[in-house]
Amino acid sequence: MQPSDALNVVAQVAVTLAGFAGIVVVFRPDSVHRWSALDKFRLRLLLANSALPLGSSLFAILLLTIHPPPMAIWRWCSGFVLAVDLVFQITNRNPWRVIPAAEFQAVSKIMYYSTAALVFGALGLQVFNIVLWNQFWPFFAILFVHLLAAIVQFVRMVLLSPTRD
């Protein structure tokens, strides 16, 4: 599969997941403003894990339109996704400060920390890709991890009943 084809698929899946987030919001009994802090956090994760791969794949597609493509295209893409992802990770680093302790007990720690480990592992691949490799697969790996995290959040939001404040 060519990188451009894979990036197109990532963009389509990311847009679809963001649209599913809208469906979740519409079919919940309360408006978003009345949701619990935990449910708002889950929605934010779903949207971010859809928006990050969408923006990153669009950036890569933009670079692929340059003729000839830059020699360091995958380094640039990894640098872009690393910068954007680090900003997201810094702004969301302590969810337990926003989520009350009673609600945070409902969070699956195994799922939360295993997803975080996958994301940080994929971020580590971006560093190696910038410094050493200049390959497509590490860049694609972080897009895959974010889409996987978005799918998990979507399924959890659909299957779990809303938490109450």
The two three-digit tokens of residue 74, written as one number: 């995958």
Q: Angle of helix 37-64 relative to helix 3-27, nearest 10 degrees?
A: 160
What pLDDT was estimated at residue 164?
A: 55
d(CA 111, CA 11): 25
The two three-digit tokens of residue 78, written as one number: 């990894």
What pLDDT was estimated at residue 78?
A: 98
What pLDDT was estimated at residue 30?
A: 81
Under 8 Å CB-to-CB from 10, ≥6 apart: which residues?
A: 53, 54, 57, 140, 143, 144, 147
CA gyration radius, the chain: 17
The two three-digit tokens of residue 73, written as one number: 């295209």
- In this structure, the number of other CB atoms found within 10 A of the CB of residue 58 comes to 14
pTM of the model: 0.91
pLDDT tens across the length of the chain (165 residues)? 899 999 999 999 999 999 988 888 888 778 888 888 888 888 899 999 999 999 999 999 999 999 888 999 999 999 999 999 999 988 887 777 778 877 777 778 898 889 989 999 999 999 999 999 999 999 999 999 999 999 999 988 888 777 654
d(CA 57, CA 84): 12
What pLDDT was estimated at residue 33?
A: 84
What pLDDT was estimated at residue 46?
A: 92
